[in-house]
Structure 1
C-alpha cells in the first residue's frame, strides 16, 4: 500500500513549513500555499517505491524522492501530474533525509485509532488535515513533535485530532443547513461536551477551541461551572435545603443560575456579525478556600464575533430527569436534585446542536482525578481543598453519577440526535478506548 508506505513523518520533521492561521508559509511569505495547507503534489505510483513530492508551486523545479525500501533520497526533475487519480499517491514535500519506515508506522498508527471509524476515515483527501492538526496540537500542548511518547502520540492522533475533525464536519453540516434555508447570518454551532469531573474535558475543549481559532474559524468556550450561583446565593440554597448534603455545596442541579446561563448563551449565539462583542463569565473555584465564587466581571475575557462554534462543557450536561422512585432508591436526597434537573433542558441544552460524550466505566475514578487537579492548583500557588475536603466534595456527586450516567450512555444526552453525537470511551488514564 503505497500511501501507507510513505506519508506522514515528513510533516512532523524540522523541515515542515510553519503556517500562519491563514495558511501562508511563514518561512517564505512569497510561497503562498493554496488553501489552509501547503498543497500536496500527486505523482504516479507506477514509479513506486519512489515517493515524489513538491509544493504546488510552478517555480519549484526540483524535488526529492525517497526509496521506500531503503530510505535513500535522490533528486529528480519536476514531473507533471499526468496520472489518473486512482493511480496517484499523496506525499508531502520531503526533506533530504526521511525515515520512510516511521512514516508507514505513523500512518498505520493513525488508521488503527479507536475513533477513526466513528469520526473521520484517513484518506488521500484528508491526510493533510490529520497532519496539520497533529502538529498544531503538539505545539499547543508543548509536546516535542519529533520525540512523542506513546502516551502523547495516542493523545494527539487517537483522541484530539479525530474529535476535532469530527467537529469540523458537524460545523460544515450546521452551516450548510442554514445556508440552504436562506439565512444571511448563521448562528454558531453549540457543541455540548459532557464528561465526569477530572476526565480531561477542560483540556479537550481548550484544544478544540484553539484548533478552530488558528484555522480562522472563531470559537468560544464556556463551562456550566461558570453559571454556578454566587457564593452568597449558594449559602442561601444550602440553608433552604438544610440537611441535604447534595445541595450544601456547588455542583448538583439547583446550584446553577439558570437564567444567567440562558442569557449568556443567547448573547454568545447572537455574535454573528463582525465587531459584535461580549464578555464570557468565569467562576473562580479557588475562592473561599476552594468553595468557589463567581469571578469579578472585570476579569472575564471578551470575545468578538462572528462566532462559528461555541463549546459548552459540564459534568452533568445532558442528564435527564428520572422517575422519583428511581432516584429515591439511589439516594433520597437526590429527589430535590431530580426536580431541579427538569428545568435544565429549556435553559441550556436546547441550544446544543452536536454532542461529545466522554464515557467512563468507573465514576469513582473522579476521586483520583479531582485530587490531581487540586494538587496542580496548589502548585500554581492557588488555595484549594485538602484531601479530606476533596473526598467529601466528590462524594456529593456520586449519587447523580450513579443515577444519570447509565441512561445517558445508553440513550444519549437529553435532546441529542445519534448522527450529531460522538461518544468517546476513555480509560483510567484518560486515553480513548472506543
Structure 2
C-alpha cells in the first residue's frame, strides 16, 4: 500500500509527535477516523502523513493517506471552468478546482470499511491518473487526509477588494477569479472539512518561505521522473501566487481552529 504518493522531503518528524497524532485520531471514537493534516505548500504534510500511516501499520492497523491534490478536477473540466468563469481557473490548486463529490465519496467509502480505490493525480502531467490505476484498498482503520488548506474558512467580501500580488493585479483586476474561489470555499468546502475528525496544522514562519519550499518540491518531483518536464523556478514563483491568498488566510485562522498546531522554522523543524 502506497502511503505517501506526494512525499518529497527527507526530513522526518519526531516519532513522538507521530505517535501523538495517531493516538489523537484513534481517540475520536470513530471506527475509521479521518486525521486531517493541513499545511502550506512544502511544509512537510505529506511526509508527516506518511509517517503516521507507517506508525499505524506497524501497530497492525490498516491505514492509508489521501491528499486533497489527488482530487483535482481533470484538465478538461478545469478548462471548461476557465472558459465559463475566468481563465485562471484552468490552473489547479485554489478552491473550486477540486472534485468535491469524488472527495466526499472517497471519505465515505473509507468510513464504510468496504473495499474502494484511492484517487491519484499526476502533477507533472497535470492530469488525474486514470481510475484503473488507482490504489485499491480492502478497508481501513485510519485515513490520513492531507492538504494545503484543509479547514480554512472563507475571507470576507471586503478582504477581496484589493489585489494581493502581481497575478491578481494583472490577471484578475476585477476580482472575478478570487471572488469565485472564495465563494467556493465558503459554500462547498465546509462539508468536506466536517468529515475530518481531527485537524493538525503545520504552521510555517510565514508565506515568504513557500516559494522556496515549493521549488524544492518541484525539483524532487522532476528528479523522481527524469525525462518528464516540470516547472522552472520562474514558473513556480508565479504558480505559488495562485495559492497566496488562501494560504495567508490559513495562517491567520488555522492556529485558532486546528486541534493541534505544530510551529515550524524555515528548515521545517518543529519548534
- TM above 0.5, yes or no, is yes
- What does 1:85-234 correspond to in 2, within 5 Å? 159-175=13-29, 187-234=31-78
Offset at residue 279 of structure 1 (A): 0.9
Query: Which residue among 183, 190, 194 is the counterpart of 1:345?
Result: 190
Distance of 1:174 and 1:376 partners within structure 2 = 35
1:253 aligns with 2:98: no
Query: Which residue among 237, 252, 257 is the counterpart of 1:391?
Result: 237
- Could you tell me the TM-score, scaled by structure 2's length? 0.86
Distance of 1:166 and 1:360 partners within structure 2 = 20
1:361 aligns with 2:208: no
The aligned residue for residue 136 of structure 2 is 302
Stretches of structure 2 lacking an aligned partner (at least 5 in a row): 1-6, 165-174
Deviates more, 1:160-169 or 1:388-397: 160-169
Q: Which has the higher helix share?
A: 2
Offset at residue 172 of structure 1 (A): 4.2
The aligned residue for residue 154 of structure 2 is 321
The aligned residue for residue 47 of structure 1 is none
The aligned residue for residue 263 of structure 1 is 105
The aligned residue for residue 379 of structure 1 is 223
Offset at residue 313 of structure 1 (A): 0.6
Secondary structure at the aligned position of 1:192 is classed as: strand
RMSD after superposition: 1.9
- Could you tell me the TM-score, scaled by structure 1's length? 0.55
* Maintained 8 Å contact 1:318/1:408: yes
The aligned residue for residue 171 of structure 2 is none
1:429 aligns with 2:251: no
Offset at residue 374 of structure 1 (A): 1.4
Secondary structure at the aligned position of 1:351 is classed as: coil
Distance of 1:172 and 1:237 partners within structure 2 = 39
Greater relative contact order, per chain length (Cα 8 Å cut-off, separation 6+): 2
Stretches of structure 1 lacking an aligned partner (at least 5 in a row): 1-140, 142-151, 176-185, 414-420
